[in-house]
Amino acid sequence: MTAKILDGKGLAQEIRAEIKVEVKKFIEENDIQPTLAVVLVGNNEASKVYVRNKERACNEAGLKSLIFRLPAETSSKELLELVRKLNADASIHGILVQLPLPKGIDEKLILDAIDPEKDVDCFHPENVGLVSQGRPRFLPCTPYGIQQMLIRYGIETVGKRVVVIGRSDIVGKPMGMLLLQKGIGGDATVTICHSRTANLVEIAKQADVLVAAIGKAEFVTADMIKPGAVVVDVGMNKIKKDIVDENGEKKLVDKLVGDVDFNGVKEVAGWLTPVPGGVGPLTVAMLLKNALTGAKRQAAK
């Protein structure tokens, strides 16, 4: 079997085009431009790229983005002051603090300080609680994107066995929670695995839908997959890989790979997301959606 590709990049473009239409309508009706504030602290190169991508995506969809770049030496107190200022600014509808924060900054303290009504990453305990109760204000971007992908590809989750590998607050736990909820894109029987899980291979092999959010390059191999399963690869891992270039010479190059051994797993799975071009673009699309939701909620008050 050769798995069909779940084209996250293409789908994200579609979703972003839909959001652009919604944003235009919202601006016409309310005379307010939905605005996302993004806070970047320090010099993490990957974070700089993510922030640039988010800024570009906002601009393309008609949202305003305000980027606040702070030096790595910023203290928790200074960052807290900025967050409070952004909370109080009615022209800002979403606040995102790019992670990871430099060592020495209390991440929990900062994320908990973001106004839950502007918490577009859906990290605030109040928003996490609302998601788990099935009455979300915002949905966490990466799991939200994955759920949309399953829905839009017509992949049924009701009654299906879903296995999520990874229990982070950003991906694994909220992913399990969304797929567990009643309704469209939910109603699955969910198992969340982690580094202490016994018999991981056997459990993974029972999955109709397997979500890998581990952070270990090509960890999920073909022997862990039920034939025909849907495999969603959240991982983004930079590795060095030997390639043979067009002149037949061997070279060591940087490569972005997922948590799934794509070439092996594609022979067993029914559906598979690529890396890059799978989950990543959807995460950005759903961030725009959340920023628009923030603006709509604020306007409705």
User: Catalytic positions, please?
Assistant: 54, 98, 121
Name the residue nearer to ligand NAP (CB basis): 82 or 281.
281
| H-helix or E-strand spanning residue 65 | strand 64-70
| Residue 174 to residue 132: CA distance in whole angstroms | 8
Name the residue nearer to ligand NAP (CB basis): 176 or 294.
176
Q: Does 47 bind ligand NAP (CB under 6 A)?
A: no
Cis peptide before 276 (omega within 30 of 0): yes
Q: Does 200 bind ligand NAP (CB under 6 A)?
A: yes
Q: Does 207 bind ligand NAP (CB under 6 A)?
A: no
Shortest Å distance, C-beta 131 to ligand NAP? 16
Name the residue nearer to ligand NAP (CB basis): 117 or 218.
218
| Residue 284 to residue 54: CA distance in whole angstroms | 6
Shortest Å distance, C-beta 214 to ligand NAP? 4
Q: Does 74 bind ligand NAP (CB under 6 A)?
A: no
Cβ neighbour number for residue 103 with a 10 Å cutoff? 7
Find the Cα–Cα–Cα–Cα dihedral 36, 40, 44, 47, rounded to 10°: -10
Q: Which of 23, 57, 83, 171 binds ligand NAP (CB under 6 A)?
A: 171
Q: Restricting to residues 88-147, which ones interact with ligand NAP according to CB under 6 A? A: 142
| Residue 251 to residue 292: CA distance in whole angstroms | 45
Q: Does 165 bind ligand NAP (CB under 6 A)?
A: yes
CB-CB contact of 256 with 277 (8 Å): no
CB-CB contact of 250 with 203 (8 Å): no
Shortest Å distance, C-beta 247 to ligand NAP? 32
**Pairing, β 4-5 against β 250-257:** unpaired
Instruction: Enter the DSSP assignment of 223.
Output: G
Shortest Å distance, C-beta 236 to ligand NAP? 4
Q: Does 189 bind ligand NAP (CB under 6 A)?
A: no
Cβ neighbour number for residue 255 with a 10 Å cutoff? 14
Q: Which of 113, 175, 209, 213 binds ligand NAP (CB under 6 A)?
A: 213
Q: Does 221 bind ligand NAP (CB under 6 A)?
A: no
Q: Which residues bind ligand NAP (CB under 6 A)?
A: 142, 165-168, 170-172, 193-197, 200, 213-216, 234-237, 279-280, 283
